[in-house]
Amino acid sequence: MKTKSRLAIAFTFIMMNFSICGIASAQQIMKGESANWYKADLHTHHTYSDPLETTATAYEKTGYQFVVLSTKDMQTPLNVRKQSTPGMLVVEGVEQAFITRKNMLGHVIAFPIKAPYPVTTAWSLKEGYEKLRAKNKNVILGVNHPHDKRWTLEDIIEASDEGVRLFELNSIDMKHGEFETALWDQALAEGARMYATLTNDVHHMNDVDAYGYIMVRAKELSLPSIAEAIVAGDFYAKESECKVTPVEYNIAGSAKKRTLEIIAPGAAEITVIADGSKVANFKENRASYKLKGSEKYVRAEISDSNGRYIFMQPFFFSK
């Protein structure tokens, strides 16, 4: 099946789930299910001071199976295809800069993509999204490190309206335990549909696996399958060295008796967030939270005894 049709199926799945059940999320993990999970980094770079093979090998040695290796706008494109192995898929991406409402350059990740890349810096964000899609119809777009304060809330909401689905919670100048969740929650509360990522944004070899990644649930290790899962939000974001592995993340019940059910071995604390506010906290590795029925969305943050986090994707509710 071609990439285009499989990505279309992913969007259709979300809309069918939303219209039939009143709940939209592909991040529904059922206890006891069998699934293929792949460790992935969607935002990283070649150091240029080392051979390209060195960066790719370092990722594979630390357990990665899917890596988007990106140039920055106007840099020489990388020939990344030869870096894929039977156990790790390397995909070409680009980090582009477009003008935000603060008249600053906000960075956007785009993949899969092929050179030549459009020359940027003179375009607004919306113009940039259009330019990236003009030659890459199935490109996946994401907001990179909004922690740098270049993005406004209006920029994020516009990005969601334009089909940008990824929101990066960290950046290389942030410490472990620091995340841009406030802006994410603000946008979600205003109706944005965006999924959280953690990345390594490698600029030096010691950045590999130093910060975080996503765990993607997909049918197989192929670009169509992984892309389909990412577009659908079927992944969670995980800090490096976090000891938590969620085995259940599910909305149970129906109508006014819905509960958010979570089981996460290795967890020391589970926090439930709804409509921008923390609504429940559990000092254990499982949680059952009764929904009020008026929520626009609900999500969970899970941490281990060392304070390393997992970010589960939101469940969105229709009225």
Model confidence over 232-261: pLDDT tens digits? 999 999 999 999 999 999 999 987 799 999
DSSP 8-state class, residue 124: B
Res 54 pLDDT > 80: yes
Nearest to 27 by CA among 316, 317, 267, 312: 312
Q: How confident is the model at residue 45 (pLDDT cuts 50, 70, 90)?
A: confident
Q: How confident is the model at residue 119 (pLDDT cuts 50, 70, 90)?
A: low
Provide CB contacts within 8 A for 312, sequence distance 6+.
27, 236, 246, 249, 262, 299, 300, 301, 302
Res 12 pLDDT > 50: no
Instruction: Give the tens place of pLDDT for each residue, 283-304.
Output: 999 999 999 999 999 999 999 9
What is the rounded average pLDDT for all residues in the chain?
A: 87
Instruction: Give the tens place of pLDDT for each residue, 173-230.
Output: 767 778 999 999 999 999 999 999 999 988 888 888 889 999 999 999 999 999 999 9
Res 50 pLDDT > 90: no
Q: What is the largest CA-CA distance in the chain?
A: 58
Residue 43, CA distances (Å) to 55, 75, 110 in order? 13, 16, 9
Distance from chain centroid for Cα 232: 10
Please report the pLDDT score of residue 319 as a whole number.
Answer: 63
Residue written as tokens 């696996």? 209
Please report the pLDDT score of residue 53 as a whole number.
Answer: 85
Provide CB contacts within 8 A for 61, sequence distance 6+.
none
Q: Within 13 Å and on the Cβ side, how many CA atoms surround 185?
A: 18
Please report the pLDDT score of residue 206 as a whole number.
Answer: 84
Q: What is the DSSP string of 84-123?
A: -BTTBEEEEEEEEEEE-TTSSEEEEEEES--SSPPP-SSS
Name residue 41's beta-bridge partners.
67
| Cα(64)–Cα(239) distance, integer angstroms | 14
Q: So where are the chain's domains?
A: 3-242
| Cα(317)–Cα(319) distance, integer angstroms | 7
| Other residues' Cβ atoms within 10 Å of the Cβ of residue 316 | 22
Name the pTM for this structure: 0.89
Fold for the domain defined by 3-242:
TIM Barrel (3.20.20)
Cα 36–Cα 39–Cα 43 angle in degrees, nearest 5: 140
